[in-house]
Amino acid sequence: DLHLSIRRQRQMCIRDRPGQAVVLGYVDYPAFLKVAQEALPRQPGVPSLQELVGTGPSAELVRATEAFGFSGELLPEGMRMQVVMLIRREGLSPEARAFLDVPPITESMFTWIPEDALVLFQSPQIGKQLQRSLDAIRAMPDAARQLEDMEKALGIDIERDLLSWMTGDLAIIVQPVLATTVPGMPVGVSALIGTDRPDDARVSLERLESVLRMGGVLVEAGELQGRPMRMVIDPNGMRVAAYAVGPEVVGIGVPPEALVKSHPERGPERTIRDNPRFQEVLRRLPERRNTLLFIDAQGLWNLVEGQLPPDERETFRRNARPFLDPVRGIGIASEALPGSAVQRGVVFLQITPP
């Protein structure tokens, strides 16, 4: 009956609750929506919830959500928050199920990520994820025509020239750099894309170079600190970006210095695995992670302080650092559980008391 169904949902949402939880909650999602709709009268011109949700795989998942639970824990190393969602898988389309059954990220990508990375975001099988988004766009006639016109104008095919060789994970890294190509830039951003088709990637990227030349942007061979890369040069002659193709990874850096430590053919001497804050944060996140976001808060505070003028630096150190320094690292991850009705997300703040 209804009572047993709600009880089962509640048990599934909180069965893995932490023993040291200080906050614990459960919401019957359909019942909550029903009460909310009854309590809030429909206003003229205001779309209903069904209209706001729309259609497509994401809308299916919203409608299939039965309940969610949440908890907060206080640990010796910091604070962890978890959200668990119970989703009814029966009747879901293959496209919606694909959103749930995302595989875990590959930790081999850590080999190319430097120890001093301030921010790391990693997501698996980026080519397949982008393909699903592209399929959703092509399902809309107007958007499909615009996309086709763009491809014809540029002389490219998105599936052939981009998605076909993106067979691995995507990692986006923000790191401190000493930029000479773009003066005054304290951080750089690099994107690493896993591939098992490096030759196809080279051919496709050469084709994209021709598209850039049409806009007055040149791409030529260059080198930084002994690492070969293709330099992207804007119409003013400034080297604004670079890319390189390795046996397992394609790397793109803005500015080019960002690619030096994360070079696909020669990674950093010390990787993010050597960062103790990263290791502690990772230890408190799910083992099978299908997304990962890590923020080195301590490194970020140090960077901000280093960019301030001397007089403001002392004020920042005296007035702000005592409140910021206890937060050492931040991690966010979702758990990869193929075939499971339960989806879990975890946030962990590494906190060291002063």
DSSP code string of 295-349 = E-HHHHHHHHHHHS-HHHHHHHHHHTHHHHTTEEEEEEEEE--TT-SEEEEEEEE
**Can you say how many angstroms the Cα of residue 158 is from the centroid of all Cα atoms in its chain?**
21
Structure tokens given for 136: 């959703």
pTM of the model: 0.87
Element holding 179 (H helix, E strand): none
- d(CA 29, CA 60) in angstroms, rounded, equals 14
Structure tokens given for 45: 């011109």
User: Which pLDDT belongs to residue 4?
Assistant: 39
**Is residue 158 within 8 Å of residue 151, measured between CB atoms?**
yes
Which among 16, 33, 108 is positioned nearest to 69, based on CA atoms? 16
Q: Are strands 227-233 and 327-335 parallel, antiparallel or unpaired?
A: unpaired
β-bridge partners, 193 = 170, 250
**Is residue 75 within 8 Å of residue 284, measured between CB atoms?**
yes
User: Which pLDDT belongs to residue 18?
Assistant: 54
**Is residue 277 within 8 Å of residue 350, measured between CB atoms?**
yes
- d(CA 99, CA 133) in angstroms, rounded, equals 11
Structure tokens given for 112: 């190319």
- d(CA 32, CA 197) in angstroms, rounded, equals 48
- d(CA 268, CA 158) in angstroms, rounded, equals 31
Structure tokens given for 92: 């879901």
- Helix, strand, coil percentages (3-state) for the chain, rounded to 5, are 40, 30, 30
β-bridge partners, 231 = 220, 242
Structure tokens given for 29: 């999602």
**Can you say how many angstroms the Cα of residue 201 is from the centroid of all Cα atoms in its chain?**
22
User: Which pLDDT belongs to residue 1?
Assistant: 37
- d(CA 283, CA 298) in angstroms, rounded, equals 18
**CA dihedral of 286, 289, 291, 294, whole degrees rounded to 10:** 50
User: Which pLDDT belongs to residue 332?
Assistant: 98
User: Which pLDDT belongs to residue 3?
Assistant: 40
- d(CA 325, CA 327) in angstroms, rounded, equals 5
Residue-level pLDDT, tens digit, the chain, 354 residues: 334 344 455 555 555 555 566 787 888 888 887 777 776 665 665 555 565 555 677 788 888 888 888 888 888 899 999 988 888 888 888 888 888 888 899 999 999 999 999 999 999 999 998 998 888 788 888 888 998 998 888 888 899 889 999 999 999 999 999 876 667 778 999 999 999 999 999 999 998 998 888 888 899 999 998 999 999 998 888 899 999 999 999 999 999 999 998 999 988 999 999 999 999 999 999 999 999 999 999 999 999 999 899 889 999 999 999 999 999 999 999 986 767 778 889 999 999 876
User: Which pLDDT belongs to residue 6?
Assistant: 45
- The per-residue b/e assignment along 42-74, b for 16 or more CB within 10 angstroms, e otherwise, is eeeeeeeeeeeeeeebeebbbbbbbbbbbbbbe
**Is residue 79 within 8 Å of residue 349, measured between CB atoms?**
yes
**Is residue 329 within 8 Å of residue 350, measured between CB atoms?**
yes
Q: Are strands 227-233 and 239-245 parallel, antiparallel or unpaired?
A: antiparallel
- d(CA 321, CA 306) in angstroms, rounded, equals 13
User: Which pLDDT belongs to residue 143?
Assistant: 85
The distance in angstroms from the start CA to the end CA of the chain is 53
